Amino acid sequence: MIKKMLLTAGDKENKEGLYHVKLTMLLASVGMGLSICYTLVYFFLTEATYAVVFNTAITAFYSLTFVLITKRYYFLAKVWFIGVLTLQLFFLATVFFTKDTGFHLYFLSIPSITYLLFSRNEKKVKFVITLISIALTYICQYVAFPGFSIVLPGYLLHISYLSTIIVVVLGQSWLLKVFADDLISAEEKQKKMAITDHLTGLYNRRHLFVLAEHCIKGSIQDNKDFSIVLIDVDYFKKINDAYGHIVGDEVLKMVARSLSQNLRDFDVAARYGGEEFILILPHTSVREAEEIAENLRRSIESLPLLVNNRIISLTISLGVAALPYGEEITIDSLIERADTAMYTAKERGRNQVVVWDEIIALGNCDSYNNTQKI
């Protein structure tokens, strides 16, 4: 039953979020457990039959929270839970016991619980519940309610009051921790968004240059191999024109996934712009980079892309450039070499890997200037 509710709460249509739903269920379960405990105490240790009946009813009310969640009434479930909790605390603090037990101080925890259960967009509800909680705390503290039914010994009153303060303080501490965790999580999310391409999930162009500059400087200082591979999706504009931008976006995401799955742990893949991707390959010679590029080419070529019940052929052209020994070079110059090699691959018929060194060896490094970028 609980598993079914969690699956239902996790549906994409649930705007409240799985976290808030799970927390509501957890707190409702705790409320039910405490109500059952109170019911047993009243039944076996007192003669307050009305208290037994009331807490039995409260237990049933808490259970309705789960019913509302099952029916996908998430907002109503949260409001209902807060309402039942408020009712229970009010009766405990005014009808069954005196204010000397400190039960009315639990109202100070309701704003904390409210801010945990409700989303940031539900500010009015949180504000209203907070005002009600403060008002009820004041009423229970300063308004006399005659006819108390259950009288506790002095030492139990003292224990009850102290335990209430401890629970309220622990609740506030928990809330502060949750807020701190949320701030840290939001900060990390913002940092990740600043360096990530939103469509493919790879690093973006700006962060690419940060990483590449760091890697190339380290490779030059340590005299280590360093290579890059520039990748372009063949006939991408035609795919966009023929099948629409949604299919085009899916193509880019498929290529990005393939890159991520086929690279080594220390390699870096990024979206360079448009339908172009770039790989940073530290400690990699030009021949190793060429082999990696060829494996990627074959992997992309074998990807099944089904659109309107027909399979679209997907290929890429790749240009490889490596850090030359004994030569000072910037990352911009290295990328320019890889770019020249990539467009040479496209000029030769696409769906192939070309290495910058081969262009130099053939003496046609100017072919890039005469190549139309498609």
User: Helix 236-243 to helix 245-262 angle, to the nearest 10 degrees?
Assistant: 140
CB-CB contact of 226 with 337 (8 Å): no
Residue 323 backbone phi and psi in degrees, to 5: -65, 120
CB-CB contact of 287 with 272 (8 Å): no
Q: Which two tokens stand for residue 147?
A: 């006819």
Whether 275 is catalytic is yes
Q: Which two tokens stand for residue 141?
A: 């503290």
Q: 16, 122, 275, 290: which one is catalytic?
A: 275
Closest CA to 113 of 36, 185, 181, 24: 24
Helices (H) and strands (E) in the chain, counts: 13, 7
Give per-residue burial for 91-100: e unless 16+ CB within 10 Å, then b.
Answer: bbbbbbbbbe
Helix (H, G, I), strand (E, B) or coil at 268: strand
Integer Cα distance of 210 and 280 in angstroms = 11
Residues recognised as catalytic: 275
